[in-house]
Structure 1
Amino acid sequence: MKNDFGRNKKGEETSLFILENENFRLSLSDYGATIVSWIYKPKSLELVAGFDNAENYVNHTAHFGSMIGRVANRIKDAKFTLNCKEYHVTANKGGNSLHGGENGFDKRLFMGEETADNQIVFTALSEDGDEGYPGNLEVEIIYTLLEDGIRIDTSGTADADTLFGITNHSYFNLNGKGSVLGHVIEIPADVYAPNLEDGTADGTYVECAGTTFDFTEPKVLEKALDTDDAQVVMTQGFDHHFNIPGEGMRKMGSAQANGLKLVVRSDLPGVHFYTGNFLNGNYTGHNGVNYGRQERFCFEPEFYPNAINYEGLKQPILKANKKETQSIEYLLFEE
């Protein structure tokens, strides 16, 4: 099903695509290839933050449900070197570039097509020089509605070496609204990345064991946040990258509440865990719900933040004329 979703900043018409099965009703927009709504039908429960029209997405800065690229998270000082050439990308977060720049994938109008009863394909061309990145990058994002959740397969092909490291930026609450501090969180990571004052990961890893960052055993979020850890104090909660051991599709993290368990899987190197620290109640979305501080959380599978500027880390480099696919799954189970 395809419906009108309003107009973007340029006045272009946007659309809302709806996929549905016995368990879920999933609404997606071609504006930002965005997860607008994800309803768990047995509980009539809205699982994600979002708005009811494109105009509200144009005016918000929290990236609710959008696909993020060309590169997720920060690029420090908005510059990087690739093949001995320095590139300058858009600085939209202080002196750094965040989530693809001022007009990243979350602000792009994709072409959408329903290719199967349970599948929507979004495509776009990010032209050479877009936000400062090299190469014409063809992007394909395939959303598949599963019996137990959502799968997102994002492919990139470019005519020159470039950067390509996506994520999805959905904000979850398994209660539908209110605080997420009672959610039980698990992240199978032995190390996490500390942040600098500007929010950029500092290029190192720190052991989780013995710290409040240890989620290898399920832990109530409120308990984890009850700490004087300098990193948590500085970011007013969790806003950190965790390295997930292994390769291929594997568990990145999980959250439990309201008799439900959300499991996030991906083939990306790690996951950024964010506890909605900077939501301030300025946004009102589905069903009149106001999104306040720590009333949502994000699991964002991605490369190490600013990895392109750090040696020894897996970097989001896409070689010319080589197709690469990065995948994310959000799975939901009743406990």
Structure 2
Amino acid sequence: MRQGPTVRDIAAQAGVSIATVSRVLNEQEHVAPGTRELVQQAIDELGGRAPRRRPSRAGAVFVRCPYLLTDYFGLIVSSIAETLDLHGLQLVLNAGEAAQKTPVLSTLPTRTGIAGAIVVLPPEPAADLVALQANGFPLVVVDPREDVPRDIAAVSAAHFAGARSLTAHLTSLGHRRIGLLAGPDNWLASTARRAGHVSALADAGVLLESQLAIPGEPTVRFGFQAAQRLLGMRDRPTALVCFNDKVASGALTAAVQLGMRVPQDVSIGGFDDIDLAQATRPALTTVRQPLGEMGRIAVGLLVRILDRHRLDALHVELATELIVRSSTGPAPR
């Protein structure tokens, strides 16, 4: 039996992007009439039927979070699960670090009983997400690791503003030599938070010295090792800004082992405001991300896509909040 043209075939024939063909096939409104006509003409010229649109709300939602579901990820996935239940949608969960090695995104359009997907900090390249959406498969990305096109629905926290508020808090306390325990260089959140840090330093008339910024995996171990390195310098920083609360807890341990008092000798700040931030001694000053709301917004976006509603704001950034506790204080003289 002769198969109909693929989305890629139609895009090449019409001279438009795969994403544009996907929007036309899914009857989305924000496509110019002339462009819609070009795509339909290409379908007619190629013969056969266009790829069949997926029925609205047909099946479960595939949630991919290839990490251990503790703290940060656990809060997001729990919120997604609760909100899906409120909408009467079932959840198929793909989680755990071992799942990072399993290529599942390309298989989703052919899986029976799956209506759409929510992917959390996907390790796959952005091109894989673009290909999935181009196939007409509904998806939402939570906290994208890389830049994704504007027409792929995504929700994240305001990383730039959050990091800027933390560093501004430290400069207001007189700190000028501030170490940065950054996240991985190839993460979108790392880039945005570094930019926020640099912006706040610039407001205080300070440039970020390259030797004071150390990138690494967001773990307790990295925080401990990086803090030991920075706090062991002759002209050591008086404060440390950490990528997340786990990194900050490692930095706290390193400071104590070096015989330093927090915050009298060195101030330390984190990001996320997970339970760990209140369990450390002293309790961590940190930037609160609305993790539960991120999950709820992601489900809301996906439901609207499944119901074929028009989405004008496909990238949603949720406000963060600086939570000041006892791990930060005035710069030592």
Instruction: Considering fraction of residues, name the structure with more strand.
Output: 1
TM-score when normalising by structure 1:
0.25
Instruction: Considering fraction of residues, name the structure with more helix.
Output: 2
Which structure has the bigger radius of gyration? 2
TM-score when normalising by structure 2:
0.25
